[in-house]
Amino acid sequence: MHPFLLYLLGLISLYFIAKWLHKPRKKLPASPPKLPILGNLHQLSALTHRSLQSLGRKYGPLMLLHFGSRPVIIVQSADAATEIMKTNDLIFADKPGTRTTRRLFYDMKDISVAPYGEYWRKLKSVCILQLLSSKRVQSFNFIREEETAVLVKKIKSHCRSGSPVNLSELFTSLTNDVICRAAFGRKYSDREDGKKFLMLLMEELQLVGSVSIGEFIPCLSWINRVNGFDNRVDKVADEVDAFLEMVIQEHLNEELQSCGAADQDESTENFVDILLKIYKDNNTGVSIDKDSIKAIILDILAGGTDTTSAALEWGMTELLRHPMALKNLQNELRGILKDKQDITENVLLKMNYLKAVVKETLRLHPPITFVAREAREDIKVMGYDIGARTMVITNIWAIGRDPASWDEPEKFKPERFLTCSVDFKGLDFQLIPFGAGRRGCPGTAFAMASVELVLANLVQKFEWELPKGMESEDLDMEEQPGVTIHRKNPLFAVATHCYF
Ligand code: HEM
**Residue 500 burial class via C-beta count within 10 angstroms: exposed 0-12, middle 13-18, buried 19 and up:** exposed
* Cβ burial 311-334 (10 Å sphere, 16+ → b, else e): bbbbbbbbbbbbeebbebbbebbe
Q: Which residues of 208-242 are buried (b: 16+ CB within 10 A; e: fewer)?
A: bebebbbbbbeeeeeebeeeebbebbeebbebbbe
Ligand 1 pocket, residues with Cβ under 6 angstroms: 111-112, 124, 127, 132, 299-300, 303-304, 307-308, 311, 367-368, 371, 433-436, 439-443, 446-447
Split at pLDDT 50, 70, 90, the class of 209 is: confident
Residue 479 in this model has a pLDDT that exceeds 80: yes
Ligand 1 atom nearest 110 alpha carbon: 35
Per-residue pLDDT at 282? 67
- What residues does 463 pair with on adjacent strands? 497
- To the nearest whole number, what is the mean pLDDT of the chain? 92
The mean pLDDT value for 476-481 works out to: 96
Q: What is the pLDDT of residues 61-106, one digit of tens each?
A: 999 999 999 999 999 999 999 999 999 999 999 999 888 999 999 9
Q: How far is CA 191 from the centre of its chain?
A: 27
172-175: list long-range contacts, CB under 8 Å, 24+ apart: 172/305, 172/306, 172/309, 174/147, 174/148, 174/150, 174/309, 174/312, 174/450, 174/454, 175/304, 175/305, 175/306, 175/308, 175/309, 175/312, 175/450
User: Residue 283: what pLDDT?
Assistant: 63
Spatial distance between the Cα atoms of 457 and 169, rounded to a whole number of angstroms: 17
Q: Is the dihedral of CA 10, 16, 19, 20 positive or negative?
A: negative
Quick: pLDDT tens for 182-191: 999 999 888 8
Does the structure show a pLDDT above 70 at 445? yes
Of all residues in the chain, the percent with pLDDT exceeding 70 is: 95
pLDDT, residue 142, reads: 94
* Residue 67, pLDDT score: 94
pLDDT at 9: 76
> Which residue numbers belong to the known binding site?
441
pLDDT band for position 468 (cuts 50, 70, 90): confident
Query: What's the confidence (pLDDT) of residue 18?
Result: 61
Q: What's the CA-to-centroid distance between 473 and ligand 1, angstroms?
A: 32
Query: What is the pLDDT, as a whole number, of residue 288?
Result: 86
**Which residue is closest in CA terms to ligand 1's atom 18?**
441
The span from the CA of 324 to the CA of 354, in Å, is 13
Predicted complex ipTM: 0.99
Q: How would residue 259 be classed by pLDDT, with cut points 50, 70 and 90?
A: low
Nearest CA-CA partner of 51 in 311, 303, 384, 393:
393
96 touches 394 (CB < 8 A): no
**429 pLDDT higher than 60:** yes
pLDDT over threshold 60, residue 262: no
pLDDT of residue 20: 63
Burial of 456 (0-12, 13-18, 19+ CB in 10 A): buried
> What's the average model confidence in pLDDT over 205-224?
84
What pLDDT, on a 0 to 100 scale, did the predictor assign at position 134?
93
Q: Give the orientation angle of helix 192-209 with respect to helix 290-321, to 10 degrees.
A: 80
The answer to whether 447 and 308 have CB atoms below 8 angstroms apart is yes
Q: Which 8-state DSSP code applies to residue 262?
A: P
Q: Which atom of ligand 1 is found nearest the CA of 310?
A: 1
* Ligand 1 atom nearest to CA at 182: 30
**134-175 pLDDT, tens digit each:** 999 999 999 999 999 999 999 999 998 889 999 999 999 999
Gap between the Cα atoms of 241 and 236, Å rounded: 8
Separation of CA 471 and ligand 1 centre (Å)? 35
Q: What is the pLDDT of residues 237-253, one digit of tens each?
A: 999 999 999 999 999 99
Residue 21 has pLDDT above 80, yes or no: no
pLDDT at 305: 93
The whole-number pLDDT of residue 250 equals: 92
| pLDDT at residue number 12 | 75
The answer to whether the predicted template modeling score (pTM) of the entire model surpasses 0.90 is: yes
CA of 198 to the centre of ligand 1 (A): 19
Distances, alpha carbon 227 to alpha carbons 199, 204, 224, 233, in Å: 22, 17, 5, 12
CB 167 within 8 A of CB 493: yes
Residue 3 CB coordination number (10 Å):
7
Please state the residue numbers annotated as binding site for heme.
441
Alpha-carbon distance values, 355 to 315, 332, 434, 455 (Å): 11, 11, 15, 10
Residue 260: is its pLDDT beyond 60? no
Identity of the residue numbered 63: M
pLDDT at 22: 66
pLDDT in tens, 356-412: 999 999 999 999 999 999 999 999 999 999 999 999 999 999 999 999 999 999 999
Q: Where are the beta strands (DSSP E) in 61-129?
A: 62-67, 70-75
Cβ pair 247, 298 in contact under 8 A:
no
What ligand 1 atom has the least distance to the C-alpha of 447?
27
